[in-house]
Amino acid sequence: MKNYHMLVVPHLFLKFKSCHSAWPESVIASQAGVQPALAASAPSGAEASRGCLRGTPSQYLSVHPPVVLPANGPGAFPGEWQGIIPSMFEIVFLGTSASAPSAKRGLSAQIVKHDEFRFLIDCGEGTQRQILQSGIGFRNLKNIFVTHGHLDHILGLAGLLSTFMRWETIEELNIYSGKWALDRIHDLLYGVVLRGGQAAMLLNLHEVKPGVFFETNDFTVTAFPVFHRGSDSLGFKFEERSHRPFLPEKAEALGVPFGPIRRDLVDGKTVTLEDGRKVGPEDVLGPLKPGVRMVYVGDAGTTEDLVAVCQDADALVIESTYLEEEAGMAKQFSHLTAKMAAELAAKANVRQLVLTHLSRRYREKDVLAEARAVFPTVHVARDFDVYSFKQEG
């Protein structure tokens, strides 16, 4: 069952997380823009000030769709969300364990979503089952980014391809990674799964070099080098293009109705109102501002070389395999401690830090405590957690 989190940067943070004890019946909501049905039950005091929305996913979903997006129209949410569906990056964690699965954590895999686009990052053993259990399904899952070629990050590709060939209508599958990883992926898919045969869809293996390698009208994905035991490891930076935010108060003052006409203005088009008046983008759009930036780092052994690419990111998702008490082992196997990840977040001035790739030897609360001592806005991901990152405006 998925657990929904929203990190709206920089002012709103809503978090939904499972726990094993009985959950309170009330739904606790941040006062920073929750639907009236939810805000009515929001308490005052410390819990509300933390911006936490608590309740079982089934409780929450009974009154609100996933991703915490409101309905369009007056009174849905304040600000630019009235009449304009905001864009955001959403990450769904499918596997958060390091090296080997545990009873509660699968091997590395996560899906990043932006509008209709879905990107699978890494594909550890058992990923296809995690995709099904999460409720996401395989629809439109045709782009896979692989950080590096170690087996706990690629073995799931064999089963995923086999399932796609038998049951799914997918016309094209694109796998992006460095050369060393692609060589291993080629051996796995063509030597084990296909064994001289042909895939039922167009199967493309794309070698990725540092720089922008995937782009749309709305966002880009940039690869950057990551040091990890000599492999050509990569990290990925998802970045929305700069945009001028829609100003609903100006639109309302001009009598611009809700609906597609507002989208046309956001797209830079001049529109004509029913009374014949013309309204241009300059009348309802604010100053240019940068889009949301989310940085994903898989296995890594150093952080000094990552500060620049992470600088001022809205979110940093990164491995945290060890605790500082075993920093020597972390260095030996080229991994990070929770403290190292937190220090990177602090140096790079990121807004939110999400830790993943945890060793089975540690308790989640100890990982969180070590990181939080250095960087307060940190979260430890669990399998099926969902985080959404959005800027206001």
3-state secondary structure at position 371: helix
Judge whether 54 and 76 are in contact, CB under 8 Å. Answer: no
Q: Which of 182, 309, 179, 308 is nearest to 235 (CA)?
A: 309
Q: What does DSSP assign to residue 304?
A: G
Question: Pick the catalytic residue: 152, 299, 383, 385?
Answer: 152
Q: What does DSSP assign to residue 200?
A: S
The torsion angles phi and psi of 333, rounded to 5 degrees, stand at: -100, 10
Q: Which of 83, 67, 84 is nearest to 7 (CA)?
A: 67
* CA–CA separation, 4 and 108 (whole Å): 19
Q: Which residues of 170-206 are buried (b: 16+ CB within 10 A; e: fewer)?
A: beebebbbbeebbebbeebbbeebbeeeebebebebe
* CA–CA separation, 356 and 232 (whole Å): 20
DSSP output for 90-118: EEEEEE-BSSS--SS--BSEEEEEETTEE
Told to judge if 299 belongs to the known catalytic residues of this protein, a careful annotator would answer: no
* CA–CA separation, 76 and 82 (whole Å): 6
3-state secondary structure at position 326: helix
The torsion angles phi and psi of 252, rounded to 5 degrees, stand at: -65, -40
What residues are labeled active site?
152
